[in-house]
Chains A and B, each alone.
Chain A
Amino acid sequence: MAETTTAIAEPTRRDFLFIATGAAAAVGGASLVWPFIQSMTPDAATVAAGAPVEVDLTPIAEGQIVKVFWRGKLIFVRHRTPAEIKAAEDVNVATLRDPQPDSARVKPGHAPWLIVYGNCTHLGCVPLGQQGEYKGWFCPCHGSVFDTSGRVRGGPAPINLPIPPYNFVSDTKIVIGQGATA
C-alpha cells in the first residue's frame, strides 16, 4: 500500500500506457467519425451532375429573363434593354450596400447579358423579375429589392445576387460552370 501512494509523485509505466491507450482510442474514434461526416458531403453522382451547362442565347428576346439550372441552383439569364443597362450604369456605386459597378457584373462587350444566381441572398427565395422600385427584381418573401444589375438596393438581403462562373463561347452561347470547383 505504501508503494501506491509514492507512485503518485512519479509517472510510472502504467501512467504512460494509460495515456497512450487513451490517445490511440481518441484518434481511432476521430477516424471513425470522419467517413460518416464525409458520407454527408455531395456524392460522386451529385458532383458529376454538376458538370457545366451550355445556354443558347439566340431565343432570348430583349427584356426577357430566362431561368436555367446548374447544380440544382436557379440562374437568371437576363437580356437587358438599353434603358435597363443605362439605369444600372448610372448609379453612384458608393451609395450601394454591396458596392460593385455594373461593368464588374457583366462580361466586357456583353453588357446586354446579365447572368446571376436566381436565389435571394437573404434566405434563398426566388425574386420576381422586372418588379420593385428599380425594376430589377423584388423578393416576395422578405421584401429585398434588386436593380437591373442584380445589386441589392433595399430589404434584408446582405449582398448582390452573385454571378455564377460562366464564359461566352460565342456571341450567342454561354457555358455556365466552366472552371468551377467541384
Chain B
Amino acid sequence: MSQHSSTYVPKSAFGKWFESRLPIAGLIHSSFIVYPVPRNINYFWTFGAILSFMLASQILTGVFLAMYYTPHASLAFQSVEHIMRDVNFGWLIRYMHANGASMFFVAVYVHIFRGLYYGSYKAPREILWILGVIIYGLMMATAFMGYVLPWGQMSFWGATVITNILAAIPVVGDTIQSLLWGGYSVGNPTLNRFFSIHYLLPFMIAGVVILHIWALHVPGQNNPTGVPIKSDKDTVPFTPFATIKDLFATAVFMILFAWFVFYIPNYLGHADNYVPANPSVTPAHIVPEWYFLPFYAILRAIPDKLGGVIAMFASIAVLAFLPWLDTSKVRSTSYRPLYKQFFWILVADTLLLGWLGAKPPEGWYVIVSQIATAYYFIHFLVILPLLGFIERPLPLPNSILESVLGQKGGAGLPAGANAEPQSKG
C-alpha cells in the first residue's frame, strides 16, 4: 500500500512460504503497524477510522436487511414493516442501518471540515482529496437510493423530485430520467433498479476508500501544524499509538450512534415516510434527509430550474478544485489568522443553509437562502484565491517535534524567520 519497504519478517515456516507467494501480511505490517504517523495529530484525525467502521456497519446491516426486504412497489412497504415487527431483532438492524447513514454523514462532515481547517487538500495531497470528494458523491447517491427503498411517501416524492432534477440537464436529461425510471414515471422498475444500485455502490465506495488510503500513505498524514514530517522524531508508529486512539474514538462515537438507535431512532426521519407511497398526494412539506439540506437550500435559492440544478451540483464540484483555488502555501489554519475567520464564517454559512433547507420556500427564507448561497460560492471562488496573496501568516514551527515540545525563542526560531512571509513560500 505504500512504497516504504517492508520490515516484516515472517516467523513461522508457513508464514515465510505464504509471504513469498502473497505478501499481504507485509503490506498490513507496513501500512498499519510500523507506518509512521505524525506525533501531534489530534482526535479529528480519528474520523477516517470511524468512517471505515461506519462503512463496514452499513454493509453488514444492509446485507441482513436485504434478506427480508422485497423490492416491489406493492410489497416493499409491507416488507419493511415485517422487518420492524416480525423479524427477530429486525427493528435493531433496520434502526442501525437508517441511523447509521446519518452517523456516516456526521463523521464525513467532521472529516471534510477537518481537511478544510488543516489544509489537508493541498499539495501533495490533491488526488487524496479528490478521491474523498468522489467517495462523498457516491455516499450521497447511495443514501438517496436507500431512502427510496421503504417506499413511503417521502421515499416516493424524494425520488420524484430528484429524478426531475436530472431531467433539467440539457439534451440528455430526458434520456437519463427515462433510464432511471424504467417507465413513464417513478414506479416499480425504478424501485427495482434503485435497490440493485443501492447494493452495488457501497462496494464501489469500499474500492475508492482503498485508493483513498493508498493515496494517503504515499505523502503520509497531514497534521495540525501542516508542517511535513522531517525526521523520525516527528512520528510515532501506527500501532499501538494510532490504532488505540482510533479504537477509543470509534468506541466513543458508537455511544452517540447507540443513543440514536436505542433512544431516538426516528428523530432524524420523517413521519410521512411511515405512510405508504401515494402518487396522487404530495406530503405538505417535502424535505430531504438532514445531510442534504444545505444543497437543497442552494437548489431552491435559484429561481430557475436549470440554474438551481447547476448551482447545486457546482456547490459539490467546487470542492474538487479546492487544491488550486486556495493559493496559500500554508496548510494549517492555526497559522492563518484571516482565513481562520473566513473558515468559521463558512461553517456558519453551511449550517445556515442547512437550516434554510428545512424551511418552506417562501418570504424572507428565499432571500436569505440566496445570500447564503452567494456567500458559499464567493468563499471558494473569490475569498480563498485572494487570501493567499493578502494574508500574512503566523510563523510556522520548524518541525512537528518543536511544536509538540513548545520550544520558543533560542535556537528554535531565529528572529529572521519572521521576516519572510510564508504566504508564497
A126 beta carbon closer than 8 Å to chain B: yes
The majority secondary structure among interface residues of chain B is: loop
- In the complex, what's the smallest C-beta–C-beta distance from A3 to chain B, in angstroms? 39
**Are B184 and A42 in touch, CB under 8 angstroms?**
yes
Residue A67 interfacial (CB < 8 Å)? yes
Evaluate whether A42 and B183 lie within 8 angstroms (CB atoms) in the complex, with A74-B280, A125-B161 already known: yes
**B279 and A142 form a contact (CB under 8 A):** no
User: Of all chain A residues, which has the CB nearest B160?
Assistant: A124
| Chain B residues positioned under 8 Å from A41 (CB to CB) | 178-179, 182
Contact of B189 among A42, A121, A143, A158 (CB under 8 A): A42
B184-A50 in contact (CB<8A): yes
Cα distance A121–B167 in the bound complex, in angstroms: 11
Q: How far is the CA of A143 from the CA of B360 in the complex (A)?
A: 8
Q: Which residues of A contact B361 (CB under 8 A)?
A: 141-143
Interface segment out of the listed B27-35, B235-243, B297-305: B297-305
| Pairwise interchain contact B279-A157, C-beta atoms closer than 8 A | no
Q: Given A42-B189, A69-B279, A141-B282, answer yes or no on A123-B182 (Cβ-Cβ < 8 Å).
A: no
Is the CB–CB distance between B182 and A43 below 8 Å? yes
Chain B interface residue count, Cβ-Cβ cutoff 8 angstroms? 34
Point out which of A37, A50, A73, A156 has the most chain B C-beta atoms below 10 A from its C-beta: A156
Q: How far is B402's CA from A40's CA once the two chains are assembled, in angstroms? A: 60
Cβ proximity bits B162-196 to A, threshold 8 Å, 1 near / 0 not: 01110000000000001101111111010001000
Does A100 interact with chain B (Cβ within 8 Å)? no
Interface residues of A in 134-181 (CB under 8 A from B): 140-143, 156-158
Give CA–CA (A142, B285) in the complex, Å: 9
Query: Do the beta carbons of B179 and A72 come within 8 Å of each other?
Result: no
What's the A-B contact tally at a CB cutoff of 8 Å?
85
Q: Tell me whether B144 is interfacial, beta carbon within 8 Å.
A: no
Knowing A142-B361, A156-B300 touch, does A119 contact B182 (C-beta < 8 A)?
no
Residues in A71-88 with C-beta less than 8 Å from chain B: 71-74
Q: How far is the CB of B362 from chain A (nearest CB, A)?
A: 6
| Residue of B165, B193, B279, B305 touching A74 (CB-CB under 8 A) | B279
Given contacts A72-B187, A156-B300, A158-B304, contact A141 B182 (CB under 8 A): no
Chain B residue at minimal CB-CB distance from A180? B184
Contacts A46-B182, A46-B183 supplied; 6 other A-B pairs, CB < 8 Å = A69-B279, A72-B185, A141-B161, A141-B282, A156-B304, A156-B305
Report which B residues bind A (CB closer than 8 A): 157, 160-161, 163-165, 178-179, 181-187, 189, 193, 279-282, 284-286, 300, 302-306, 308, 360-362
